[in-house]
Amino acid sequence: MYPEALAQLTCPSQPQVGLHLAPGATTNADGIVEHGTLTCATCTTRYPIRNGIADLLGPLALPTTPAQLTNYLPPTAWLYERTWRPQALSLLSGEPFGYSRELPLIARLMEPERPGIYLDVACSNGLYARALAQARGGAPGHVVGIDHALPMVQEGRRFAQQAGLRISFVRASAQALPFAAGSVAGVAMGGSLNEIGDVNKALAEMRRVLAPDGRAVLMNLVQARTKGGRGLQRVLGFGGVAFWPMGMLNQHFADNDLRLAAQWRYGVVVFSLLLPG
């Protein structure tokens, strides 16, 4: 957990109130807070920092669907980017769509050279967080990866450290982002909206934290065009994964005051650039 992120974190239940690092925290040579306690002066809740990750959920926050449960399993977190994720968009779109195509698109749409805080929400292993951190160069600001599954953010931190990237990781809910209103320059999300549970609350939180000139870049999966594809999606739906028609996805954006500025579809894969309405 880097000081740049600590200065911006707020209490999940009272996002207008900042969190403070209690005395006695330990830091490493790079200034990362490895262990410590964050406190809210208003509600007095205490949140631990362990191995560089701030946990704002605690042990009682449990997954609500089978799809979310799998992300709590350490083998899933370890395998995610080492097996499935590099091939995912090529398989889902029906055309070559590797990282060399996906990640520059995300960075180009986000314009991360703008100063400020950038969030990779429901970040899994922090793929988009790393892409944004690399694209930012020396621009003022910081990138934060957020996920509800501790094994995912632990693996994300390992990937970031191996790449030599300055990224903070926080265990928190997409429906209760620990940042003040209007404080974030950009929000990215890669596919997780389909299994996130309360979709409108998550989108409302993105809108709340976005600065007036902020940008949200989302990759989502939509309803398949073929009968066989829709049948498979119905089966996945029993595990808590939702696949909306394009019109319904865009209505979710509009209902939460996120204006669709641009959109591209490749098979069931959709990229959307959203601006505050």
Instruction: Say what the pLDDT of residue 29 is.
Output: 84
Question: Is residue 50 assigned to a domain?
Answer: no
State which amino acid sits at residue 141. G
Question: Is residue 46 assigned to a domain?
Answer: no
Question: Is residue 66 assigned to a domain?
Answer: yes
Does the pTM exceed 0.85? yes
User: Which burial class, exposed, middle or buried, applies to 64 when counting CB atoms under 10 A from its CB (0-12, 13-18, 19+)?
Assistant: middle
- List, as one string, the DSSP characters of the chain: --HHHHTT-B-SSSTTSBEEEPTT-EE-TT--EEEEEEEETTT--EEEEETTEEESS-TT---SSHHHHHHTSHHHHHHIIIIIHHHHHHHHHTS---HHHHHHHHHHHH-TTSSEEEEEET-TTTHHHHHHHHHHTT-SEEEEEEES-HHHHHHHHHHHHHTT--EEEEE--TTS-SS-TT-EEEEEEESGGGGSS-HHHHHHHHHHHEEEEEEEEEEEEB--SSHHHHHHHHHHHTTT---B-HHHHHHHHHHTTEEEEEEEEETTEEEEEEEE-
Q: What is the pLDDT of residues 147-193, one digit of tens each?
A: 999 999 999 999 999 999 999 999 999 999 999 999 999 999 998 99
Is residue 69 scored above 90 in pLDDT? no
State which amino acid sits at residue 137. G
Question: Is residue 202 assigned to a domain?
Answer: yes
CA nearest to 179, candidates 7, 57, 10? 10
Cα angle vertex 150, ends 147, 155, to 5°?
A: 90
Specify the number of domains making up the chain. Answer: 1
Give whole-number Cα distances, 259 to 107, 190, 272, in Å.
19, 18, 10
Question: Is residue 11 assigned to a domain?
Answer: no
Which CATH number covers residue 204?
3.40.50.150
| Residue range 76-102: mean pLDDT, rounded | 95
Question: Is residue 170 assigned to a domain?
Answer: yes
Question: Is residue 218 assigned to a domain?
Answer: yes
Cα Rg of the chain (Å, integer):
18
Question: Is residue 272 assigned to a domain?
Answer: yes
Look up the domain containing 203 and give its range.
60-276
Q: What is the pLDDT of residues 191-219, one digit of tens each?
A: 899 999 899 999 999 999 999 999 999 99
Is residue 68 scored above 90 in pLDDT? no
CA nearest to 196, candidates 168, 211, 223, 177? 177
Is residue 240 scored above 90 in pLDDT? no
Average pLDDT, the chain: 94
